[in-house]
Amino acid sequence: MGRLNAGNVALAHEIIGRYPRTKSALIPLLHLAQEQDGWVSDEAMVHIAELLDLTPSEVLGTCSFYEMFKREPVGRYLVNVCTSIACMLGGGDELLEHCEKSLGLTPGATTADGLFTLNEVECIAACTEAPCLQVNYRYFHRITNEEVDALFADLRAGGRSGEIPPHGTLTRVRQQVDPQRWDGRGGEGLPEERS
C-alpha cells in the first residue's frame, strides 16, 4: 500500500521510456498506482513525483482533476448509480434507494468489509438503457432490483471475477508490442496487421 512496489517501479520506468518527455507518463503512472492499491494514496503521489522529477503538488494538481482517480480508499467494487434525467424517469431514484438498502450505505460511503462503495452519479451515457448502473465502470442496463441483489450476492461470494476485476484494474492482459514496430512516427512501423 502506498508507494509503487518493485514490479510496478520497473513497469513505471518502462512506461516513462515510451515518452519523449518524462512528465507525459504522469497519467499512466497514476493509473498504475490506482491499479496497485485500488486508489491513489499521498505516498503514491510522492513516489510518482520522484519518478518523474515533478513536485508532489504537480502530481496532485493532475490527479485531483480527474474524478476517476480516487484519493480516498474505495471498495473493491465501485457502484455508480445514475440519477440524471433519463434514468430518473426510468426509475433511477428507486434503483439508488434499493442499492442503499441492499448495501446498507448512503451514497459516498463504503461497506465495513471494504467490498462496496456506492455513488450517485450524473449521466453515464446509457440513457436508452435506463435505469442503469456501473460496477467498476462495467455497465448493467435496465437493471431490476432482483438483478441488483443477485449481482451484489455474486460479488460478495467472489463471483463474476472474469467480468468485473477489482477497482483500479486497468487491464488483465499486458500486451507487449516490440517497440521497434511502433516507434511512434506517424504510423510507420505499426504492426503490419494494422497498417
Positions that interact with ligand FES (CB under 6 A): 82, 84-87, 123-127, 130, 132
Residue 78 interacts with, from ligand FES, another protein, none (CB under 5-8 Å by kind): none
74: Cβ–Cβ under 8 A, 6 or more apart, which residues?
Answer: 38, 39, 110, 117, 167
Task: Say whether residue 59 binds another protein (CB under 8 A).
Answer: yes
For the bound state, the minimum distance from the C-beta of residue 125 to ligand FES, rounded and expressed in Å, comes to: 6
Tell me the pairing of strands 77-82 and 133-135.
antiparallel
Task: Considering only the stretches 39-47, 83-91, 102-110, 167-175, report the one whose residues sit in contact with another protein under the rule CB under 8 A.
Answer: 39-47
Instruction: Give the neighbor-by-neighbor strand order of the sheet with 116-121.
Output: 116-121, 77-82, 133-135, 138-140
Site track 64-103 with another protein (rule: CB under 8 A), x = hit: xx--------------------------------------
Q: Smallest distance, Å, CB 42 to another protein? A: 6
Report, in Å, the least distance between residue 82 CB and ligand FES.
3
Question: Are residues 7 and 18 in contact, defined by beta-carbon separation less than 8 angstroms?
Answer: no
Q: Is 122 one of the binding residues for another protein (CB under 8 A)?
A: no
The two beta strands, 133-135 and 138-140, are antiparallel
Q: How far is the CB of 49 from another protein (least distance, A)?
A: 8
Q: From the list another protein, ligand FES, none, pick the one residue 43 interacts with, judged by a Cβ distance below 5 to 8 Å according to partner type.
A: none
> What is the 8-class DSSP label of residue 192?
G
Interaction between residue 54 and another protein (CB under 8 A):
yes
Applying CB under 8 A, the span of 16-24, 55-63, 98-106, 115-123 interacting with another protein comes to 55-63
DSSP one-letter string for 80-104: EEE-SHHHHHTTHHHHHHHHHHHHT
Q: In sequence order, what are the residues at sequence separation of 6 or more whose Cβ sits closer than 8 angstroms to the Cβ of residue 18?
A: 25, 179
Alpha carbon distance 144, 57 (integer Å): 44
Q: Which set of grid coordinates corresponds to residue 16? A: 516513462
CB of 85 to ligand FES, least distance (A): 6
Kindly list the residues in this chain that would bind another protein in the complex (CB under 8 A).
42, 45-46, 54-61, 64-65
